[in-house]
Structure 1
Amino acid sequence: MPVEQRYDWFTAQASDTLCPPVDSASGNAVQSPFVLFRRPRRNRNSDSEDIAQIRLEREGRNEIRRITAAVEKVPWSVSTLQILWTAGPVTLIGAWGGYLLGYGKAPSMENYIFFISYTVITGVAGIIANLVYHLTRGRQYERTADKISHVIDELPELILTTRNLIVESLEGEARRRESAAMLLRKQDLSPEGVELAALELLDDRDSARIIAQIDIYRRVGLQARIQDMIELYRDTIDPQLSELTEVAPEAIALLRDRFAGHAPNLHHGVPRDDNFIERIMAAIEEDNELLMTLQDVEEVLLLAFELISGREIPMLTFEYRGRWQLARTLDALEESRSRYRISQATGLSRLKALTVYLAEQSGTLVEDAAQGLRAEALAQRSREAMDALAEQIHQLAARVRQGETGLRGELRNRANILTNALKLFRSVHEAYEQVGRNHASLLRMSERWDRMTNTESDDATRLQVGPGSRGLRIREKRIELDDAAKAQVCKHLFRHLRDTRLPHRRFEHQTTLPQDHAGDVEAAKRLAIEIALALEPHIQLSRPEVQRAIYASNAAYFGQLEPNLSASAKAALGSAMVKEVNEDLSRSAESLAVALVRHYRVALPPEAIEFLKNTYGARENTLNMVSNYDTRMHRNISLLTHRPPLIGTPARHWYRALVRARRALG
């Protein structure tokens, strides 16, 4: 029996007459926004599959046509009616009224003939001009539709290719753990797939089989039986999970959820990798692709496909309208706080980029940069790996100087790795030094705001709800692409997707095409940069508040997209999946309340608590606790939320190793 069954997921509206989805374990109908068809071979249900496929294709084509028509062409009938109306009745009425006002009497027959002839000639000229325009640019609509279709077709396949590159860059146990994590993220993973992922992580067939059995019970809703198995096998499986938590925290967390009888929820989406936008922007700013990782490439590909498919990401901000001095002080404090938070994220991002770079190079003692590791662990891994590299270079240089010329290539490769790692390490050191400077600036701005608010009335520094425009208010905005922006983004990406070197169908012909991992990684990172540049004019991706809103939102789940689907099917499925993600602004609202009360010393009245609870779903207990925080009883000594890790300065023996390598290579 194959490990993984192959599934095709097709969207079905409530009014459709398609059969409901059926649970593979129980045979019972399941309420789901997607209709599941198993297609291992052609059977008697093929007619229903064909109907679903046709409907899916039609919905996707309509979506592509709607985006294209928004920017490329006004319908011919509308354009013709506009010309006829303007050149006919409007011109005649205007001419008659003007003649009457100017001469005080109605125009004569000769005047009517003049005006009628004039309107007919101008109308015919307008229709001819419109016809010529459509004839000369008639292909523009089709070309734009082709570009949009091409981008929608390519992005899901490039996501799969990037995931393969991520796994390909790892070795040994790290490759197995990352593959298992990718399996466990799938919302529709079969029990056999759960067993395979558990086996890859735990290397214990009995434990893997137990977790797979729990997943079977989950599919039929037998929670009582799941609790029985958890109680029976907890003492066996919990120690295995705890042992690997430090090595692969994210993968083990996913497996622990499976052991507890939980699976990823389609409506909750998929958590995003923190600070991936910052790393891409840093790579653009410093012209250094090493500052971003392949995980960042995957994240920005997902974001682009989400936005093109119609995703709307909510964003909460606050603003003050009233006294200009108070407003300017608040803006300065918010800007200073944003710079501080971005510098914190920058330091961690650079450190992760260094660890990922060392993990991608063989023989550096770093197997992977697992998600969820603390900065201290990443820093320790990096320093140990660079110490080992320096020692290897010393040994290779000594052997090359003794006449072993065959080692020159390996010595040059090791030296290049250490050189690049040193550049990244210096950027990490500089980033964490900037954290300290921004923290001092934040303290100064906070003290200035405190002095200003102490002289103001409570109403001026109280969160306002209800009608009105003055005071401190929360504003909800949306990060989205309208149809014109979608078309522009697709046009931008089409030029680069057409020429990209990424072999996005390589997984179908793995044994026939040559391998060029380094070139593929470079092409993937260049594509990520182009995606960021294409999105920047439309959603201001570089703004801190936009980045925070994207990080706080979960990505849509695109596990049902397969390479063999057409562009129209992918467009329809993408549009359906982004609509399934629930908007959860509760955490954003709670963090905003904490920032207002603790950092900005803003009062949170009962009506504001009720507003945040009812509007954004914030927890009442949390808001009450925040509102009871007495700023006068807490000295604002430091606003450091995360103490920077002790990175230290670059070690001298790293530089000595490079000098020795340079001398040995002549």
Structure 2
Amino acid sequence: MLPLPVFKRRDQRDTSGSSINLERQGRDEIRRITSAVEKVPWSISLMQILWTAGPVTLIGAWGGYLMGYGKAPTIDNYIFFISYTVITGVAGILANLVHNLTRGRQYERTEAKIARVIDVLPELILSTRNLIVESLDGDARRREAAAMLLRKQDLSPEGVELAALELLNDPDSAQIISRIDVYRRVGMYARIRDLNALHRETIEPQLHEQMELAPEVIGLLRDRFEGVAPNLHLGVARDENFIERIMAAIEQDNDLLMTLQDVEEMLILAFELISGRSITMLTFEYRGQWHLARALDQLEHARARYRIAQATGLSRVKALAVYLAEQSVTLVEDAASGLRADVLVARSREAMDALADQIVSDARRFEKSPDKGQLRNRIRERSDILANAMKLFKSVQDAYENAGRSHAQLLKLSERWERANSDTETTLRTGRGRRGLRIREDTIHLDDAAKAQVCKVLARHLKTLPIRHWGHPRHTPYSRETLLDHGADTLKRFAIDIALALEPHIYLSRPEVQRAINATNAAYFGQLEPNLSAATKAALGVAMVKSIESDLSRSAESLALALVRHYGVPLDDGAIEFLIEHYQAREATLNMIAGSHSNDRPQVSLLTHRPPVTGKRPRRWYRALVRARRILG
């Protein structure tokens, strides 16, 4: 009897083969990047030398002799040329051999540096997330941990239940949301609608109650309640203006201006670019009359400066709120993402007022208490926090004052553009031709040579980080946290090093580059784990980057709004059709933008986002610091 064939279900197949394939693909990717800059394959070099020193030399010598003397070379001449060819060929091979012997390990060293960077970056991302949670206390720590769980695309129903329990503190509601996620995984949306209708009156008030404290994470939990999970192909939303905050920390030599969330975003951006991420950047240019081109260029630069100034103000407010949230002695539990700037300013002022009162109260007790050591340490800690917070608060005020000046300059240049454009009706050109206003596409990416150069620079900085390998003799069940815990200051410095390494290649300091990166979602790297090899991480990184769908609809709509509102350019049917066809912009949005064009009203509005009222710095803050310094000497 013939043996029956053995069949395997798809979910029961052996996964070792896919792991081996990932290893192989990752090694090939690392070698491809290295080979692009380090050396030409030996076989190609040898063939070039033999071909040049052999047939090419003989044919050239024979032809030259024939042209010079009018006859073919003699046997003696052939012996001379053959000897010459052999000697020069051997000399070339020996020179190439000496070159490879003297720099023989350069290729291997570069490959090792690339592999190390690809291996460590995902671990640093996990380390940063751990430090973000560790810097918070109480409910804030639970909310942040739940947010990180809910952002995972492949989170299990048990994970969804745990996140819901952390946020709502209601086991029954958490179990219901977990059941909805189970039905989502098998596509039973009819049962999801049944559970929504049955339990909405119970769960919706709980979500609404937590919305003010943590709008972003509650939004993620509401999506889970509706049966919606994060889409792997859409990616993960970036933290807005993170590049500006890091650049400000570099410029002012003050790492308090950046947050740990900014560090995480920079690490993710670096891993994306090394894995092959390409980000499309949309801008526009004018070709034609020189005075119109100059006026348009000046207006675009002024608009970019104003937008950066607005983003700077919001970034400073967030940096202040995050700094106060990271200090356990303040009233700020967390700086929840999604809150308005005026709410963050109010929270920060309230916390700083309370901090000043605590310092004054401790100073009074210090004067009467016989045990002054503990009180002196407490006063020193709180006064340092208040002093740093006051510096950040001043940076908030300076940033919004600069935004006002930038807006005044924008209005001035807008009037100049309107006068220059009054005699000529400028439209967006989408067809052939060289003159007119046109959309220009650029890409933000790293070629193989740039990837290798960035990895070399980062590998040099990684030597300063206290990282131990998994095979360390003191390996314990808790060594993962020990291996990944580098400290906030060290990680912030490394994020700055990343920005400086990327700047020569993608020009992060340019406003248009920052806008383009902020307009895209980051790739989802939830499947990367510390115990994977560098080759596997490289293959997974490339696969995850390729899975991101290019979405230029928001950029195209923003570009159309700028053309109509700031430049007075009408959006005709041809331009609308072009933006829909090439960038998948929404037709309803473009029609609304086109309908807002009017020549009888100013095209540049007043402040796009009204800045929060920061107010003056209270004298009570200064008095508290003066009193603390008198005690501390």
TM-score by length of structure 2 reads 0.94
Residue of structure 2 equivalent to 1:443: 411
Among candidates 433, 444, 449, match of residue 468 of structure 1: 433
- Aligned with 1:629 (options 596, 607, 629): 596
- Kept in 2, the 8 Å contact 1:318–1:474? The answer is yes
2:532 matched to 1:582?
no
SS at match of 1:640: coil
Q: Which residue of 2 aligns with 1:30?
A: none
1:400 to 366, 391, 394: 366
The aligned amino acid for 1:476 is E
Distance 1:474 1:433, change over 3 A: same
- Structure 1 contact 59–572 (Cα < 8 Å) conserved: yes
Equivalent residues in 2 for 1:15-414 (5 A)? 22=11, 48-102=14-68, 106-403=72-369, 404-406=371-373, 407-414=375-382
Partner of 2:233, secondary structure, is coil
Q: Work out whether residues 502 and 524 of structure 1, in 8 Å CA contact, stay in contact via their aligned partners in 2.
A: no
Specify the alignment match of 2:459 in structure 1. Answer: 494
What amino acid is aligned across from residue 443 of structure 1 in structure 2?
Answer: L
After TM superposition, give the deviation of residue 635 of structure 1 in Å.
2.9
| Contact kept in structure 1, 2:568 and 2:603, CA below 8 Å | no
Report the 3-state secondary structure (helix = DSSP H, G, I; strand = E; otherwise coil) of the residue aligned with 2:136: coil
Alpha-carbon shift at residue 163 of structure 1 (Å): 0.3
Amino acid of the residue matched to residue 496 of structure 1? H
- SS at 1:463's partner residue? coil
Q: Percent identity?
A: 68
The 1-side partners of 2:357 and 2:575 are apart by 61
- The 1:483/1:396 distance shift into structure 2, 3 A limit, reads same
Give the alignment of 1:600-611 within 5 angstroms: 600-611=567-578
Q: Which moved more, 1:470-479 or 1:170-179?
A: 470-479
How far the C-alpha of 1:517 sits from its partner, in A, is: 12
What letter matches 2:291 in structure 1? Q
**Aligned to 1:453, which of 421, 445, 452?**
421
Change (3 A) 1:189 1:324: same
Residue 564 of structure 2 contacts residue 603 of structure 2 at CA under 8 Å; is this kept in 1?
no
Question: 1:482 maps to which residue?
Answer: 447
SS at match of 1:397: helix
Distance in 2, matches of 1:616 and 1:626, equals: 16
> Aligned partners of 1:235 and 1:316: how far apart in 2?
45
Q: CA deviation at 1:123?
A: 1.6
Aligned-CA RMSD value: 2.2
Q: Which amino acid aligns with 1:256?
A: R
Match 2:392 to one of 421, 424, 429: 424
Give the match for residue 4 of structure 2: none
Task: Decide which moves more: 87-96 or 179-188.
Answer: 87-96
Distance 1:206 1:445, change over 3 A: same
Matched-pair contact (CA < 8 Å) for 2:275–2:541: yes
Question: What whole-Å deviation, never above 9, does each CA across 1:180-229 have from its counterpart, x for those lacking one?
Answer: 11110011111111111001000111111111111111111011111111
Cα distance in structure 2, aligned partners of 1:351 and 1:517:
29
Residues 560-595 of structure 1: CA deviation (Å, up to 9, x unaligned): 111111111111111111111111001111110110
For the residues of structure 2 that align with 1:512 and 1:536, how far apart are their CA atoms?
35
> What letter is aligned with 2:421?
T
TM-score by length of 1: 0.90
Shift in alpha-carbon separation, 1:226–1:438, aligned structure 2, 3 A: same
* Alignment partners' CA distance in 1, 2:432 and 2:509: 32
Structure-2 separation of matches of 1:493 and 1:186: 28
Match of 1:615 in 2: 582
* Maintained 8 Å contact 2:133/2:145: yes
Instruction: Figure out how many residues of one structure are paired with residues of the other and give that number.
Output: 622
Check conservation: 1:501, 1:523, Cα contact below 8 A. Answer: no
What is the CA distance between 1:396 and its match in structure 2?
Answer: 1.4
Counterpart contact for 1:157–1:504, Cα < 8 Å? no
Give SS of 2:463's match. Answer: helix
Counterpart contact for 2:523–2:545, Cα < 8 Å: yes
SS of the equivalent of 1:632 reads coil
- Describe the superposition over 1:631-660 as per-residue Cα deviations: whole angstroms up to 9, x where unpaired: 313234634210111012221111111111
Distance 1:256 1:20, change over 3 A: farther
Comparing 622-631 with 409-418, greater Cα deviation is found at 622-631
| Stretches of structure 2 lacking an aligned partner (at least 5 in a row) | 1-6
1:223–1:436 distance in 2 versus 1, CA, 3 Å? same
Aligned counterpart for 1:528 among listed residues 477, 492, 495 = 495
Question: What's the CA shift string for 1:343-387, capped at 9, x where partnerless?
Answer: 000011011001100111111100001110100110001101110
